[in-house]
Amino acid sequence: MATTDVITDPHHEDELLAQFETTVGRGDRIEPRDWMPEGYRRTLVRQIAQHAHSEIIGMQPEGNWITRAPSLRRKATLLAKVQDEAGHGLYLYSACETLGVSRTELTELLLAGRQKYSSIFNYPTLSYADVGTIGWLVDGAAICNQVPLCRTSYGPYGRAMIRVCKEESFHQRQGYELLMAMMRGTDEQRAMVQESVNRFWWPALMMFGPPDDSSPNTAQSMAWGIKRNTNDDLRQRMVDMTVPQAERLGVTLPDPELAWNEERGHHDFGRPDWDEFLQVVKGDGPCNAQRLAHRRRAHEDGAWVREAATAFAARTATAGVAS
């Protein structure tokens, strides 16, 4: 629903802030028409927009393989999955719009490169095995990230995440099943899976964002109930969940330091290449330019459809009045 600006008397700001903090503190949700601190709103807009853009740009790496899927079954699956990503983007854009930004603004900010999307989508999909690996590792990481977000303090964001999470499970399972099928195949197919996992493992771990000691926004986001876990906590959870899945699949995760730590009750693992991460975030990843150029082209190529629909709606509205 469109937001109505709540006009606040500055004398009451402290009182409003106290009310806001009480609501968040008792685990209640903040809804669009509630008063909220400007920083909370700004943080949410940035996070939800980035999340929405990621879903939309995320259609490209896998969409790359739709025409070359090896069977009708795999093709139908991949089409459904890519369509889901579009749907997830739309749920999230709607949630973001409840904070008073327009869809037009969000689209323009993405196309101008002024709002980010997840750096994982700036890596290429070089083989068909990547479709499976993305489902298993990239959607697996997304699930780790998103399940706690179902309880985020901002109502519309949490509700969007619940819908997204219900569908992500299909994404991860179809990926793992695809990889299992390839692992039952020829040596060449098994090598394709291993090569794909080698390329995606570290970028998938980077999806949780920088380490806690260099993530300045985490503390405030957790105090506001936007984030429920730190980046490093979620990364650890991902590693612990994935290790037995890799064993069952018969692939090696490309990290010589990966080992079970009895004392901690968790796996130890190596340090992702944070320099590479920063480079990709800044725009110098393998596919940054290509992804944005494709998105811009799709947007421009679709302009005539939007114009025609607008003109049709205007004409039928006038005809309705006349008759």
Partner 1 sequence: MSGGPEWPLYEVFVRGKRGLNHVHVGSLHAADDQMAVLHARDVYTRRNEGVSIWVVRADAITASSPDEKDPLFAPSGDKVYRHPTFYAIPDDVPHM
Q: What are the tokens at 214?
A: 């260099």
Closer residue to partner 1, CB minimum distance, 222 or 311: 311
- Residue 62 lies near partner 1 (rule: CB under 8 A): no
Listed ranges 28-36, 114-122, 227-235, 264-272: which one lies at the site for partner 1 (CB under 8 A): 28-36
Closer residue to partner 1, CB minimum distance, 90 or 181: 90
Min separation Cβ 177 and partner 1, Å:
18
Helices of type H across the chain: 13-25, 38-57, 59-63, 72-97, 103-111, 129-133, 139-149, 155-183, 187-206, 218-223, 231-249, 274-279, 288-301, 303-322
Question: Measuring CA to CA, how many Å separate 246 from each of 79, 148, 178?
Answer: 26, 24, 14
- Residue 290 lies near partner 1 (rule: CB under 8 A): no
Closer residue to partner 1, CB minimum distance, 305 or 322: 305
Query: Is residue 314 helix, strand or coil?
Result: helix
Pattern of binders to partner 1 over 116-155, x per CB under 8 A? Answer: ----------------------------------------
- Distance of alpha carbon 302 from its chain centroid, rounded? 24
Min separation Cβ 306 and partner 1, Å:
3
Q: What are the tokens at 215?
A: 């993530």
Cβ neighbours around 318 below 10 Å, total: 10
Closer residue to partner 1, CB minimum distance, 1 or 289: 1
- Residue 104 lies near partner 1 (rule: CB under 8 A): yes
Min separation Cβ 116 and partner 1, Å:
19
Closer residue to partner 1, CB minimum distance, 59 or 192: 59
Question: Measuring CA to CA, how many Å separate 93 from each of 50, 66, 79, 291?
Answer: 10, 25, 21, 19
Listed ranges 57-65, 118-126, 287-295, 296-304: which one lies at the site for partner 1 (CB under 8 A): 296-304
Alpha carbons 168 and 180: distance in angstroms, whole number? 18
Q: Contact at 8 Å (CB) between 268 and 235?
A: no
HEC per residue, 82-107:
HHHHHHHHHHHHHHHHCCCCCHHHHH
Pattern of binders to partner 1 over 67-86, x per CB under 8 A? Answer: -------------x--xx--
Closer residue to partner 1, CB minimum distance, 220 or 310: 310
Residues that bind partner 1 (CB under 8 A): 1-2, 4, 6, 33-35, 80, 83-84, 87, 90-91, 94-95, 97, 102-104, 107-108, 159-160, 163, 167, 299-300, 302-307, 309-310, 312-313, 316-317
